[in-house]
Structure 1
Amino acid sequence: MGKYIWMLYRYTAAKRFQEIFFNGLFGRLFFGSSGTSRELLFHSKTSLLWHPSNMYLLLPLEDSLSNELKINWPGITACTLAVEFLTADGNRGNPSLNLTDSSVTEHKETNVIHFAKRSIDVNNISNIVVLAIHTGRIYSTIELVHDTSAKSSFNDIVDMNSSKFATFSEYYNRKYCIVLKHPGQPLLLLKQSHNPHNLLVDFNDEDFSAQALQASSVNEKSWNNIHMPPELLLVLDVPVYVLKAFYLLPSLMHRLESLMLASQLREEIDFRSSNFDILSSLILEALTTLRCCESFSMERLELLGDSVLKYAVSCHLFLRDPEKHEGELSMVRSLALSNSTLHKLGTDRKLQGYIRDSAFDPRRWVAPGQLRLRSFPCNCRVDSREVPLDKKFQTEDLEIKVSISCDRGHRWMCSKTISDCVETLIGAYHVSGGLIAALHMMKWLGIDAELDPSLVAKPLIVHPYNLMSLMMKCRL
């Protein structure tokens, strides 16, 4: 029983760690405007943070020289204690740190800096992960700024020409109802958190590089460092490299989720051979369009798949109908390989649900335990998650934005994208397993292109001259 309770405690602590970091970095921990009673995320919105369909934990590891992987439970526990502190503080209705002693203490020249719940030696201040108790934002410390304090001019340090606050103490008192206990302490220079970036794009693309440069210049202001009194900061016992790793996680997890979908499609196709193994990454390439702006796409596989498909269908028709005129065979082949036919075959196998047709947007990615702040309401007039293939859900309107999904996952997609994907999957299987694997892929799609060995030998028997002519050419 005791072991079960201990495991349950660790599971709860792991969830709290994930909630506080993802919401503290990329979302919000407090809701409500300044000057009013603000609500902590953990008071009423915890039921919105976790869903059975999207449930996994991302936990930090201890920095160790050995190959053994150990979870950093002390850091996770520290985050849990931070949540308990914020919750208790919020229940008192005052986000101030001075809960037991509200007297103001003048700062004396010592080697100790007072944070929210502890004091730290002045020589160990840099590269600490901290949480602001009045905003719920997570920062990393850079250095102490000597010759400054909460009594310093707010305009001079914050670089504001006209502010209604004379000092930092006045700012926090009037805006957050906080009375600083150590207003004479030096201010801390902090590095702000920022939105995650799409790290999956092709950075060698000149067009994208120009767009990224423009976007970075627009958001340059948000990257400025800020000054804050140390006593407003909770120290999280997590190394700063863990904080930096969180900016990689949206892109990393998106890629893993995409590979899992590709692997799921591979299992559905179910082609097993001792001499053949197709990688999930190759199937992912076959499902990725140019709109994803990544370093790979389906274009090359489409070229190969188109040729293999035409070859297989042509051979099948030639061998199956030896009496038909070549013009008639060409017409039958064109119908079998038309975009509308391939689109129908692809949608029958629900390939549209696997195709990646837009660049990854980290701002729309939400981790388990993270509250979604941006909503994209569904106006598609579809009750189910899966869109029926009715004509009312088809359009030739060029103003429609393709590949942009709503919160329910509905999106517009060009019909040719689906037919192209049929060809790219055939090309992917041909690359990995040759013609036999490509034929299996065609069979799974419902394309009649099977080559009967008995039909291959029949034209040679009926027309022996063809065999003799072929043999003579081979000798030459």
Structure 2
Amino acid sequence: MEKDGNKSADPLGVGEATQELGREPCDDEQPRYVPTELVKPPCSNDASVMYHCYLIKLKQSIDCDIPVSDIVLATRNKLDCDTIANMNFELQVQRGPLTVNFKYAGDVNLCSEQVLVCRRFQITIFRILVDHELTKLEKVLERFHLGQNYGTESIDYLLLPAARIHQRASIIDLDSVMSMSSHCNKDFENRVCVDCPQPNNNSHVPLHTKNGMVCTCRIQNSVVYTPHTDSLYCITGLLDDLTGNSLMRDNKSITYKAYYEAKHGINMRFDQQLLLNGRGIFRLQNYLLWSRQQRKRGSSHASVQLPPELCTIIMSPISISNLYSFSLVPSIMHQLESLLLAVNLKQMILDHLPQNVTIPTIKVLESITTEGCQENLDLESLETLGDSFLKYAASQQFFKTCPNDREGLLSEYKEHIISNLSLGKRGCDRKISGFIRNETFDPKKWIIPGDYCRSYFLNEELLFDKRRIYVGGTRKIDAKIVADVVEALIGAFLSTGGELDAIYFMNWVGIEVDLDHIRYERHLQVQSEIPVDVGHLESLLDYKFQDPSLLVEALSHGSYIPGGYQRLEFLGDAVLDYMITTYFYDKYPEMMSPGILTILRSASVNNKCYALSAVKAGLHKHILASDIVHRNIDRTVNNFGSLSKESTSGLKSETYFSNVGF
């Protein structure tokens, strides 16, 4: 390219192609990747399947009326140790943080019948939690039994209640897994526990239900359906002091029997039976939200008194502890899916970098998580760090490779590289866009493993002919979001492996820079007699210049020599931005919550701070400029007023400085 009558090198491989790239719109239809570890390949042999089991340990920070219970995750693909180590986080539940930990618990072999039973259990419990409707559950189970779409690639893993400590030989609580009732066939009719003693107390007496006669122990921990209200409830026990003939708790003027007859037209036949204590089914929520509003207890948490004869048992035994714990699972699995996406992206990138380059998975997860997710970490701090290094690297590259070009052209070259459109397209070309997390998690849209009632088909894709990934559809994503993720990944490699690792990643993305091996030749002509006291300034700056003409150029306004200090200003601006950003990021890691780094950098990287620092050091007295410019400088310095010269922080400075050479 011809600039100023001289032909410059083609920096970063830009030229005309880069100019077009910077203006080319980015395709906004991008894939949405699904981690391979959670997908069942087509035509898998289900006669006998080995599952790798992981104990999801839940721990409440304070005592609650509903305790939590552990859950088993069983996957066909073994999760790596790095993934398990990073599955240690908190959920923001109603009563305070709840800690989640993963632990490898061993392997189990399941035959095809056992796999179907486990799938039926998890589909049932999650459909109850998602829909709160029996009709939808029946339709889903009907389709499940027909096996529709079973041969396609699908999200496939098992989520099952963990056995209690005294049952741990089996890992899985098989009693709960077998808790499904086919209420239409009255499977629970006359089911009395074999181990039950003779009915001499309320714990083991037969009760009349819509399933028929059922042992009390079978209904005390169960999920029931009440046709008269079309509702589902979790039964936690019997009410020893209430029968159908008792006065209602919230209306002492009427009995339960009279109420049901007046309200629903139901004549209770077994009004001497003790009533059941029921509780509404838990509503799924996003427990990963960090800045959540205080949630109020909803009507689903209120207790109700139910006559057994009006209840149809859907699941038994299933405790309220299990039901509550499973309501947390969509948020837990979303976190795991996100972490596995980060693992897959990390492996894809490292495939193309030198073997000694590494990066923590949690940093990759942070880099692909946008503010839109509203979680406890997002990419903003890493994006700010990466943005500053990208500008620094590009500025230095152009400064060295285009020695004859003025500051305006250098800025134009840099903009072609760092623009959102350019970075966005590079990120899409490198498949990064498919890994981005950009939406608040909605647990009601979570894909229940093994549930084929939704049209959700996966397509296999090879990433650069090396790694397998699955595409779960497409989405629109803005080029700026992809650009932010690219910058965040630059920041992630920079913060963990240093500048060289960041450059390796940038080179792979297509931003080829070399900060060490580019030869730089200066072409600035200065007067034979250096017009500044170099020795005094070197003493003032505590720095020895190998080439004193650089100092002259840095102090020369455009009114003194053509172009003046503008090329060095172009480079120095990027250096200052990078150094200050890195300083804050490294110095105050405990303060680096999303947004803080951006605020600190904006407050410090500005003309006000630079001008005040220059005046404080007395550098303004050595600027080489015309008399008019010097008068403007003097006038600006005299207008400092009450501004303290002890402060160089933009957080405290509100004084305006004209653009006169600082």
Normalising by structure 1, report the TM-score: 0.69
Question: Following superposition of structure 1 onto structure 2, how do residues 32-111 of structure 1 map, counting pairs within 5 Å?
Answer: 41-44=140-143, 46=145, 47=147, 52-64=153-165, 70-79=171-180, 82=181, 85-89=182-186
2:409 matches 1:328: yes
CA 1:118/1:49 → structure 2, altered by over 3 Å: closer, same or farther?
A: farther
- Match of 2:215? 119
Provide the identity percentage.
27
2:359 matches 1:278: yes
2:375 matches 1:294: yes
What secondary structure is seen at the aligned counterpart in 2 of 1:118?
Answer: strand
- Contact 2:234/2:279, CA 8 A, preserved across alignment: yes
2:276 matches 1:188: yes
1:286, 1:74 → 2: CA distance?
43
Question: Following superposition of structure 1 onto structure 2, how do residues 206-245 of structure 1 map, counting pairs within 5 Å?
Answer: 208-209=292-293, 212-213=294-295, 216=296, 220-231=298-309, 232=311, 234=313, 236-245=316-325
Question: Following superposition of structure 1 onto structure 2, how do residues 117-196 of structure 1 map, counting pairs within 5 Å?
Answer: 118-120=214-216, 128-132=221-225, 134=227, 137=232, 139-144=234-239, 146-149=241-244, 156=248, 166-168=258-260, 182-196=270-284
Q: Return the offset for 1:261.
A: 1.3
CA 1:58/1:169 → structure 2, altered by over 3 Å: closer, same or farther?
A: farther
| Alignment gaps of 5+ in structure 1 | 33-37, 91-95, 100-106, 378-383, 387-407
2:119 matches 1:27: no
CA 1:27/1:337 → structure 2, altered by over 3 Å: closer, same or farther?
A: same
1:449, 1:159 → 2: CA distance?
78
Q: Return the offset for 1:326.
A: 4.1
2:421 aligned to 314, 321, 340, which one?
340
1:361 aligned to 436, 442, 462, which one?
442
What secondary structure is seen at the aligned counterpart in 2 of 1:9?
Answer: helix
Give the number of equivalent residue pairs.
397
1:471, 1:326 → 2: CA distance?
21
Q: Return the offset for 1:161.
A: 12
Q: Return the offset for 1:430.
A: 0.9
- Match of 1:446? 510
- Contact 1:31/1:40, CA 8 A, preserved across alignment: yes
CA 1:63/1:273 → structure 2, altered by over 3 Å: closer, same or farther?
A: farther
- Contact 1:313/1:448, CA 8 A, preserved across alignment: no
- Match of 2:518? 455
2:566 matches 1:469: no
Q: Return the offset for 1:351.
A: 3.0
Superposition CA RMSD, Å: 4.5
Q: Deviations over 1:305-326 (max 9, x none)?
A: 0111011112222333344444
2:479, 2:332 → 1: CA distance?
29
1:63, 1:39 → 2: CA distance?
30
1:60, 1:249 → 2: CA distance?
11
Q: Deviations over 1:405-429 (max 9, x none)?
A: xxx8554433322222221111111
CA 1:431/1:372 → structure 2, altered by over 3 Å: closer, same or farther?
A: farther
Q: Return the offset for 1:157.
A: 6.0
Amino acid at match of 1:244: Y
2:140, 2:264 → 1: CA distance?
21
Give the number of the structure whose residues are more often helix, by fraction.
Answer: 1
2:119 matches 1:15: yes
Q: Return the offset for 1:302.
A: 1.1
- Match of 1:35? none
Amino acid at match of 2:479: S
2:289 aligned to 201, 210, 214, which one?
201
1:221, 1:259 → 2: CA distance?
34
